[in-house]
Amino acid sequence: MPDSIPTDSVGLVTPQVYKFDEPLTLRSGKVLPEYELVVETYGKLNSKKTNAVLICHALSGDHHAAGYHSENDSKPGWWDSCIGPGKAIDTNLFFVVSLNNLGGCAGSTGPASINPVTNKYYGPDFPVVTVRDWVSSQLRLMDRMEIPEWAAVVGGSLGGMQVLRWTISNPDKVRHAVCIAAAPKLSAQNIAFNEVARHSITSDRDFHEGRYLEKGTYPKRGLMLARMVGHITYLSDSAMRAKFGKSVSNFKQDTAENFGRDLRSGKLSFGFDVDFQVESYLHYQGERFSENFDANTYLLMTKALDYFDPTVDFEGDLSKAFANSDCKFLLMSFSTDWRFPPERSREIVSDLLKAGREVSYLEIEADQGHDAFLLPIPRYVKALSGYLQRVHQENKSDAP
Amino acid sequence: MRPDLEIIQQWIQPNSKVLDLGCGDGGLLHYLQMTKNVHGIGLEIDEMNIQHCLDRGTNVIEQNLDEGLSNFQSRSFDTVLLAQTLQALSKPDHLIDEMLRIGKNGIVTFPNFGNWKSRLYLAIRGRMPVSKFIPHSWYNTPNIHFCTVKDFDALCIERNIRVLARTVVDLEHQGSWYMKAWPNLLGEIAIYHISKDTD
C-alpha cells in the first residue's frame, strides 16, 4: 500500500463469503450441489435499494476490484482507477458489488476447492461453467443480498459478456448495462488463441490430467506460456513499441523508431537466451501469473469465453436475444484493441438498434489495445463517469 | 435554442422515435425527450459533443455519417433529423435517401447559399462568402456541399421526395411574407420536412 490510503480510495476492504446450498443446474446439464462465492462491496446500499452496481470481472479478474486488503498490499484492486469515492463508479453514490465468479481461484468455489463429496480437490472434475451459469449464480447472490435490481451492471471483455447475458436472461433486474471492449461471440481467431493457451497448459508434464494439486505441483511452464500468449493479444503493436522502445532516445527523439526493440543488457547475446526487453517482460508476466492463478480455472475461463453465444436460443439472431432487454445500454471499444476490436462492439450496437433498444456507443482512441479497459484513459473514464452520474440522477428523480 | 431547432420541434410527434444525424451536444433531443417524451438516438463524431450527450442523458452513438447508416433498419424511426449537417457530408444525396429509408419522414435544415448576401459577396468581392453564418475559409471549411433552396427543390423532384413543408428563415429564425415570396433570395436557413413513399 502507499504510505497513506489515497482519499479517493475505498480503503481497506474485507471480502465476505456467501454459501449457497441450493443446487445449481448448469448449462452443461451438470449440477453443482453447493458452492461459495467470495464478494467485496464498496459504498452503501441506500434505503430504497436502488443504487446497487454489479461489477463483472474478466478472464483473470476476481472480486478484489478496489481498495486494499492489508496495509502491506503493494497494489490496490484491479479496477481501483474507476471505483472509489468521487471516481467514475462513485462509491459515495453507489453500492458496488464485486464477486469472484464460480470456477475462479480467488476464493469462490472452483477447481482448486475441495469437493465435499470426495474430500479431494475438484481439479478437472469441476464442471465447465458458462457465462449464463455465472449470471445465474450472480442472480442468487443478488437475492441473498436483498437487492431488487441493479442500477447498472458493468463489465469489460468477458465481464462485458456477462453484462449482455444479464440483459437477456434477467432484463427486469437491470436498469443500465455498461459493456466495455466485448464481443457478441468469439471469432475463430479468438478461439485459436485460447486453444494455444489451453494446449500449453494441458501438455505440461506437471498438469497430471488436471490433478496436479493432489500431486503437490502445478503446470508452471504451461500456465506461463498461456499467459505470455494471452498477454500479447491484450497489448497492441503500438503499445509494445512504446513500452519497449525507450532506450532509443540515445539515438533519436522518436521512441517508435526502434519498434520497441530495447535490449535487456545493451547487446545481442548470439545465443538463445532472452535478448530483448519484451521477452523478459513476457517471462516476468507469465511467471508472476503462474504463481497466482489456477491452471484449471484458466482452462475453464477460456472455455466460458469460447462458448459464449447468446444467439443460440434465438436462431442465431442477436437482435432477437435483446427483444426484452429494455434497459439502457452504454458500449465502449478501443481503437487498437485487436482481441475484441471496435467492429465487434458495433455488431452489438447494430443488433441493439435492430431490437429498438436505447443505446450509446463510444469508440475510444487509445494505444493500449485490449488492456485499455483496465486503464485510466481520460476520455473513457470521463464517459463512464458522465453516464453513471445520469444513472444516479435518474435514481434521485425516481424517488417518490 | 438554435433558430432552426425551434421550428423543427413543431413537426415532431409526441412519443415518437427520433434519430438525429449529427446531434451536436444533444440539446434538441434532450428537449424533445423532456417536452414530448420522444425516444431519441443521436449520431455524432465530435468527442466533446458526445460527452455532453452522455452528461445530459441523451443516447448518442459515435458514428461517422459519411460511412453510411447500414446499421439502421428500414422504417425503424418516425422522424430522422439532419440539422445543419447536409453541407458537410461527402454524399448528401445518399444520406437523404438513407434518412427516408430509416424514417417515415425526415427533416433537413441547411444554410441557403442562394441567399442574396452570399450572391452579393461573391458578385462584388469575387471570393467565396465568409460570414458569421458561414465562418470558414474555402480551404478549411467542413462545408463541402453547399446548395440553394432551388437546388434542393430540384433534388427532391429528381428523387421523388415529397416536400411536406418548407420554411426559410433568417439567422434570428424570423420568417416573413417577403421570405415566403422569395425564399431562395431572402432565406438564410432552409428547413424542409420531407417524406418518400415506399417503393
pLDDT single digits (tens) A274-318: 999 999 999 999 999 999 999 999 999 999 999 999 999 999 999
| CATH number of A157's domain | 3.40.50.1820
Residue with C-alpha cell 433558430? B3
Q: Which of A190, A207, A136 minimizes the C-alpha distance to A302? A: A190
Q: Does residue A5 lie within any of the structural domains?
A: no
Whether residue A164 sits in one domain with residue A49: yes
Instruction: Look up A208 and say whether it is catalytic.
Output: no
Tell me which residue in B51, B56, B76 faces A382 most closely, judged by beta carbons: B51
Residue range A322-337, pLDDT digits in tens:
999 999 999 999 999 9
| CATH number of A285's domain | 1.10.1740.110
Task: State which residues form the domain around B38.
Answer: 3-113+146-195
Catalytic residue among A60, A108, A157, A333: A157
Whether residue A249 sits in one domain with residue A332: no
**What residues of chain A lie within 8 A of the CB of B41, using their CB?**
353, 358-359
Q: Does residue B130 lie within any of the structural domains?
A: no
DSSP per-residue codes, A218-286: --HHHHHHHHHHHHHHHS-HHHHHHHT--GGGGT-S-GGGGTT--BSSSS--SSSS--BHHHHHHHHHH
Q: How many whole angstroms separate alpha carbon B150 and alpha carbon A344?
A: 43
Residue range A7-34, pLDDT digits in tens:
899 999 999 999 999 999 999 999 999 9
Domain limit, last residue, from A292, A327, A360: A292
Q: Does residue B119 lie within any of the structural domains?
A: no
For residue B159, give how far its alpha carbon lies from the nearest alpha carbon of chain A (Å).
27
Model confidence at B144, in pLDDT bands (50, 70, 90)?
A: confident
Q: How many whole angstroms separate alpha carbon A176 and alpha carbon A391?
A: 8
Instruction: Look up A176 and say whether it is catalytic.
Output: no
Q: Does residue B158 lie within any of the structural domains?
A: yes
10 Å CB burial of residue B142 (0-12, 13-18, 19+) is: exposed
Q: How many whole angstroms separate alpha carbon B158 and alpha carbon B156?
A: 5
* Cell numbers that stand for B128 in this block: 467565396
Q: Does residue B57 lie within any of the structural domains?
A: yes
Q: Does residue A130 lie within any of the structural domains?
A: yes
The answer for residues whose C-beta is within 8 angstroms of residue A228's C-beta and 6 or more apart is A282, A283, A285, A286
For residue A363, give how far its alpha carbon lies from the nearest alpha carbon of chain B (Å).
7
Whether residue A117 sits in one domain with residue A232: no
Residue range A336-359, pLDDT digits in tens:
999 999 999 999 999 999 999 999
Cβ contact B62–A361 (<8 Å): yes
Q: Does residue A4 lie within any of the structural domains?
A: no
Give the pLDDT of residue A2.
66
A365 φ, ψ (degrees, to nearest 5): -70, 120
Whether residue A83 sits in one domain with residue A162: yes
Q: Does residue B133 lie within any of the structural domains?
A: no
Cα A209 to Cα A9, A332, B12, distances in angstroms: 42, 39, 65
Q: How many whole angstroms separate alpha carbon A346 and alpha carbon A362?
A: 10
Q: How many domains does chain B have?
A: 1
Whether residue A167 sits in one domain with residue A34: yes
Whether residue A217 sits in one domain with residue A174: no
Q: Does residue A194 lie within any of the structural domains?
A: no
Q: Does residue B99 lie within any of the structural domains?
A: yes
Residue range A172-191, pLDDT digits in tens:
999 999 999 999 999 999 99
Q: Does residue B52 lie within any of the structural domains?
A: yes
Domain limit, last residue, from A238, A260, A292: A292
The answer for residues whose C-beta is within 8 angstroms of residue A289's C-beta and 6 or more apart is A60, A223, A224, A227
Lowest mean pLDDT among A88-97, A208-217, A248-257, B70-79: A248-257
Cβ contact B62–A363 (<8 Å): yes
Q: Does residue B128 lie within any of the structural domains?
A: no
| CATH number of B36's domain | 3.40.50.150
Query: pTM of whole model > 0.90?
Result: yes
Whether residue A254 sits in one domain with residue A125: no
Cβ contact B72–A353 (<8 Å): yes
Residue range A52-108, pLDDT digits in tens:
999 999 999 999 999 999 999 999 999 999 999 999 999 999 999 999 999 999 999
Whether residue A166 sits in one domain with residue A93: yes
Q: Does residue A2 lie within any of the structural domains?
A: no
Q: Does residue A9 lie within any of the structural domains?
A: no
Taking CA–CA distances from B38, the nearest residue in chain A reads: A358
* Cell numbers that stand for A50 in this block: 436502488
Let me know how many helices (H) and strands (E) chain B has, helices first.
8, 7
Q: Does A394 touch chain B (CB under 8 A)?
A: yes
Tell me which residue in B47, B55, B61 faces A379 most closely, judged by beta carbons: B47
Would you say residue B174 has pLDDT above 90? no
Model confidence at B87, in pLDDT bands (50, 70, 90)?
A: confident
Task: State which residues form the domain around A274.
Answer: 208-292
Whether residue A343 sits in one domain with residue A281: no
Hey, is B95 helix, strand or coil? helix
Q: How many domains does chain A have?
A: 2
